Chains A and B, each alone.
Chain A
Amino acid sequence: MSQHDTHHDDHGGHHVTPLWLYHLIFGGLLCLTVITVWIAQFDFGPANTVIAMFVATIKASLVALFFMHLLHDERLNALTFGFGLLFVCLFFLFPLVDIGTRTYIDPIKDNASILKQEKIVKAQEVHAKKHKKALGNLSNLYNRSFMNVAEDEAEAKPVPAATTEPVEGDSTAK
């Protein structure tokens, strides 16, 4: 008689997960923890974060689906949680799009000097790919050391000595 859309779901709130499954999931979580710590010894560059997040997501899914019963619970609860995660993704997406593209040149202000700079940056990137390991984060470095150290005396300040107040050192550079 009542019209609650998820009121008497087949699986209902009374689904009881068998004990062995809980133990299995627990074992899986332990293994994945060991794996993620073990993998962290190796340096895969930027892929480090991706791998770690991948493992973490598997772990989180296990907890959410089995320990938190999302798999057999009312579908609405899973939907709610999924919807929340969607908004988390949006929250990540736009600021990162902004930060990631902020150094790109405004296409409207296109002119010769900018084109030249783009060329240099591109050449650096090609170069950086060749010598990835040795160079580390070259394109960043190149821009900074090249533009600042060479052209701007003030920016190429020496490493602040430990005894001086670093905040002051920073503000004088501005």
Chain B
Amino acid sequence: MSSNTQANPEYQLGEKESTNYINASKGLMSWLFTIDHKRIGLMYLFTIMGTFALGGFLALAVRLELFTPGQTIMGPDAYNRVFTLHGLVMVFLFIIPGIPAALGNFVMPLMLGAKDVAFPKLNLASFHIYVIGTVMALYTTLDGGVDTGWTFYTPYSSTIDSQVVMMTMSAFVLGFSSIFTGLNFVVTIHKMRAPGMTWDRLPLFVWALYATAIIQVMATPVLGITLLLLAMERVMGIGIFDPALGGDPVLFQHFFWFYSHPAVYIMILPGMGVMSELITTFSRKRIFGYRAIALSSIAIAVISFLVWGHHMFVSGQSAYAGMVFSFLTFLVAIPSGIKIINWSTTLYKGAISLDAPMVWALSFLILFTIGGLTGIFLGALGTDIHLHDTYFVVAHFHYVMMGGTAMAFFGGMHYWWPKMFGKMYNEFAARLAAWTVFVGFNVTFFPQFIMGSRGMPRRYYDYLPESGYQIFHQISTVGSWILLLGMLIMAVNLFSSLKNGKEASSNPWEARSLEWLTQSPPIEHNFHEIPTVVEGPYEFPIATATATPQGAESSDP
């Protein structure tokens, strides 16, 4: 058994093949209609970078508007549209597909030792649908946009005169893309594992993607029917959500959060998966509590469906439902806590190297912990009455979504960048970007906790000069500029590496999972021979020795 743990040394040291998945075929069509999961992953990656930039600029506009009381750069109607679009773009176009569809698509089949996902054509369809949905959303934006907030609450959204139907249809279409990705991943993970790749040898990123995919499959259809009902409400006057017609507007919130609460775990779970990879690789230590982390992903997926009512404590839902939801909400803290503690324990006495991906990972660890703990405040019924719809909530979910998921996304991007393109970026610039973003993030969002707890409502266009909020808004806005600076450094660094970066070896981080077994960038069909897996993904040898991936490419005994 132990003789098989080494990857074929000739392959490791041997010269790179000149053909890889990037240059195997040429022309725009060979990309747009490819069924190669790696190419689809890259197309997702670049589209998502674009949507992130769009959402980011909208956020900058919001922050700039709030720099002074009264009108700064736009009027209230424009402001409402801008923050709504910021939410919609970031949620539906960036975070939800971000890690699973871009990084997951690229890495997951490699990690399993598979040649592709189970349904490559469905994978391509998922990308096409994503693009169609994005185009619809952008068209709606240009056509006046919507000002309902990304939550589309009725009866406002069913009565207001704006492009709600078009926008909901775009989210409906994007939902299909998400479902197809999730469905594909579940089947791939069940059926496409290489010989020897048992469930307890799966990299934790795969486990996280599996949990994510379950939520995508189970929750997204409900988003579909919710948005369909909202559209029907506007088009046909169905009245299910309209009190004037005998319906119940709170029911819409139930429908909406049945999807959208689990959806926040669609956003964070893959980030947690990336974390598990980064933390172990860069502390050169076996992960602490593999099984606990793996199962806590599944636990989070299931519990996420039990807690949606904590978004509705002040909506007029019954007091009893509120109590039940509040209690269940605290349950989520358990699996999340398990993960945080296990990562910290993995770091303990590890041989930590602060490479750029690790800086992102440590940012995640700190920011997600803050975001998670402030979530407990919001889950408590009494505290939430005070904090509901204030900047405290805004700060909380930005700490979790951006401080968590986005940090993991960028960390993962830096981690797998050499694998994707075969190029190393400038390490110093990458670390600088990561630290700048970390600082900028905190400067932006920490003041929001303070002004939120003092009562500054979210989504408001204006505040009184004498309210004392201005200084916090100004710090926050300055922070957003630091964030922008960090992002720019990162973008310039990554893109210039494509031209000027030095060649990456097949395993630059000396990581253990299977994607590092094949060359960088990988060959068209991932592996010459399907590897046989003989041990877990985190069996690092003593700190100084060279690690090799968890399987050998030769399947001969």
Contact = CB atoms under 8 A, between A and B. Distances in A.
Interface of A: 1-7, 76, 83-84, 87, 90-91, 94-95, 97-104, 106-108, 170-171, 174
B244 A102 contact: no
B449 interface: no
23 contacts: A1-B195, A4-B191, A84-B218, A87-B218, A87-B305, A91-B258, A94-B258, A94-B309, A94-B325, A95-B251, A97-B320, A98-B250, A98-B318, A98-B321, A99-B251, A99-B318, A101-B318, A101-B319, A102-B318, A102-B321, A103-B318, A104-B319, A106-B319
Contact of A171 (B244, B254, B317, B321): B244
Nearest to B328: A94
Given A91-B258, A104-B319, 13 more contacts: A3-B197, A4-B193, A83-B214, A91-B222, A94-B258, A94-B321, A97-B321, A98-B309, A101-B320, A101-B321, A103-B318, A108-B319, A170-B244
Nearest to B530: A2
**Interface secondary structure of A, over-half rule:** helix
Contact of B254 (A4, A84, A95): A95
A94 B320 contact: no
Contacts of A90: 305-306
Contacts of A84: 218
Interface in B287-320: 305-306, 308-309, 316-320
Interface string B163-197: 00000000000000000000000000011011111
A2 B195 contact: yes
B324 interface: yes
A3 B305 contact: no
B207 to A, nearest CB: 15
B187 to A, nearest CB: 10
Nearest to A102: B318
A3 B320 CA distance: 47
Contacts of A170: 244
B248 interface: yes
Nearest to B312: A98
A1 B198 CA distance: 12
Contacts of A4: 190-191, 193
Contacts of B316: 102
Contacts of A7: 191
Contacts of A102: 316-318, 321
Contacts of B244: 170-171, 174
Contact of B317 (A6, A76, A98, A174): A98
A107 B324 CA distance: 14
Given A91-B258, A98-B250, A104-B320, A3 B308 contact: no
Contacts of B321: 94, 97-98, 101-102
B71 to A, nearest CB: 35
A93 to B, nearest CB: 9
Nearest first, the 7 A-B pairs at minimum CB distance are A102-B318, A101-B318, A98-B321, A101-B320, A95-B254, A98-B317, A106-B319
Contacts of A87: 218-219, 305
B103 to A, nearest CB: 24
B319 A3 contact: no
Nearest to A87: B218
Contacts of B248: 99
Contact of B318 (A91, A97, A171): A97
Output the residue of A95, A106, A108 with the most chain B CB within 10 A. A95
Contacts of B317: 98, 102
A98 B322 CA distance: 8
Given A104-B318, A107-B319, A94 B195 contact: no
Nearest to A4: B191
Nearest to A103: B318
Interface string B242-255: 00100010110010
Contacts of A108: 319
A3 B250 CA distance: 48
Contacts of B198: 3
A174 B242 CA distance: 14
Contacts of B251: 95, 99
Interface string B406-430: 0000000000000000000000000
Max chain B Cβ within 10 angstroms of own Cβ: one of A97, A100, A108, A171: A97
A91 B194 CA distance: 37
A3 B113 CA distance: 12
Contacts of B318: 97-104
A153 B222 CA distance: 42
A98 B190 contact: no
A90 B251 CA distance: 14
Nearest to A93: B306
A3 B193 contact: yes
B345 to A, nearest CB: 29
Contacts of B196: 3
A48 to B, nearest CB: 22
A99 B315 CA distance: 13
| Most B-side CB within 10 Å, residue of A3, A90, A174 | A3
A2 B393 CA distance: 48
Contacts of B254: 94-95, 98
Contacts of A171: 244
Interface string B341-353: 0000000000000
Given A90-B305, A91-B222, A91-B258, A97 B324 contact: yes
